[in-house]
Copies of this chain bind each other. A is one copy, B any other.
Amino acid sequence: MPPTAFEPHDHSSCVSDGVAAVERHCAEHKLQFTKVRRRVLEILLNQHKAWGAYEILDKLREEGLGSQPPVAYRALDFLVSHGFAHRIERLNAFIACTHFDTHHAPAFLICRSCNRVVEAESDPRAGELGRAAQSAGFVIERTVREAEGLCPACVGRASA
């Protein structure tokens, strides 16, 4: 199952499915899926890129949903803490989770040319980090795995 967001796809379903899944999850877990939180999730889902907090804030401001940084950061904190979105450390930016149902340690592929970001599943105990941790007796609680480079489309464009 290769990542799909680098390829053409029916993107409107990315948005609607994403919102619907979170809506369901919130209802089941008695979480408040408020207007701002919903809108921020929609913004994140709207493109497969990582959004800076202030970019999101600008959108909210245009729509009269809030104008100060804490408004955006609180909504993002909610989404991230419940696994509906992820923070991309390399970019100081945020992206909607594309498989938030599973309890996961995400990894990301970031295209430096078109800025698209794709989330891949990953096992935190696998790979070099896990091996190094094990041999050092280190207990991993959270991992950051981000790869920067060129997506297939941009590689083609560059070498064409």
Interface residues of A, Cβ cutoff 8 Å to B:
2-3, 6, 89-90, 107, 109, 111-112, 118, 120-124, 126-129, 131-133, 135-152, 155
Contact = CB atoms under 8 A, between A and B. Distances in A.
7 contacts: A118-B132, A126-B127, A127-B128, A133-B149, A141-B148, A142-B148, A142-B149
A51 to B, nearest CB: 17
Nearest to A143: B147
A85 B67 CA distance: 39
A129 B107 contact: yes
A105 to B, nearest CB: 9
Copies of this protein in the complex: 2
Contacts of A136: 2-3, 6, 109, 118, 120, 151-152
Name the residue in A6, A120, A126 with the highest tally of chain B Cβ atoms < 10 Å from its Cβ: A120
B144 A132 contact: no
Contact of A128 (B107, B135, B148): B107
Contact of A147 (B118, B123, B138): B138
B135 A147 contact: no
B122 A128 contact: yes
A150 B127 contact: no
A24 to B, nearest CB: 27
A146 B148 contact: no
Nearest to A7: B136
A147 B122 CA distance: 13
A155 to B, nearest CB: 5
B89 A146 contact: yes
